[in-house]
């Protein structure tokens, strides 16, 4: 089949001026929410990384004096990651709500200029679910890696360090 499809024809009508304001507001809100999620992810990662490497940065005399309590900093990193994840879980539904409203308003404004097929493509975009899923997977991997790290730190590094400190010289 060749030729033009009725779905490819432009729909001629003027966009609602109020819809333009709504789209502008929703775009700003979407950018704010989206940036907030990314900033949260970056900040939590930075704080967790600093807490996870802190035991290695401590002087050997401090390591021996504090002993297994030094693992408290990486354990606190796990608490920070879990708290960040909870904050993220409260923010993602808000982002989804704004994204859905923005898409609907976008269709209202762009409708006169796009074909029905193009409008359907805008509404059918699935990246909204992938973004939420990817952020959750990232936090899950970060939390799992921190837990494994703490277990390894406890068994492979602190035990020999403390045992070496207990030996009489």
pLDDT for position 151: 85
Q: Which two tokens stand for residue 55?
A: 């035991």
Residue tagged 């990193």 (tokens): 77
Residue tagged 């907030």 (tokens): 36
| 116 within 8 A of 51, measured Cβ to Cβ | no
Cα distances (angstroms) measured from residue 13 to each of 60, 113, 142: 74, 8, 50
pLDDT for position 85: 94
Q: What is the pTM of this model?
A: 0.69
How wide is the angle at C-alpha 79 spanned by C-alphas 99 and 83, nearest 5°?
20
What gap in Å lies between CA 117 and CA 41, rounded to an integer? 36
Secondary structure letter of residue 16 according to DSSP: P
pLDDT for position 115: 73
Chunked into runs of 10 residues, the chain (169 residues) has average pLDDT values of 52 62 87 92 95 85 77 91 94 89 78 72 64 90 92 72 55
pLDDT for position 35: 93
């Amino acid at each position: 089949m060749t030729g033009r499809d009725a779905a490819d024809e432009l729909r001629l009508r003027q966009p609602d001026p109020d819809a333009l304001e709504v789209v502008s507001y929703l775009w700003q809100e979407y950018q704010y929410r989206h940036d907030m999620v990314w900033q949260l992810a970056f900040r939590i990662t930075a704080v967790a990384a600093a807490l996870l490497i802190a035991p290695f940065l401590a002087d050997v005399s401090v390591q021996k004096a504090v002993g297994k309590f030094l693992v408290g900093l990486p354990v606190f990193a796990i608490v920070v990651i879990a708290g960040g994840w909870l904050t993220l879980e409260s923010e993602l539904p808000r982002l989804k709500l704004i994204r859905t409203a923005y898409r609907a308003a976008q269709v209202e404004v762009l409708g006169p200029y796009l074909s029905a097929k193009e409008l359907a493509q805008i509404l059918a975009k699935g990246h909204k679910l992938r973004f939420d899923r990817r952020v959750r997977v990232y936090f899950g991997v970060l939390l799992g890696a921190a837990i494994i790290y703490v277990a390894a730190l406890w068994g492979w590094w602190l035990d020999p360090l403390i045992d070496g400190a207990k030996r009489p010289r």
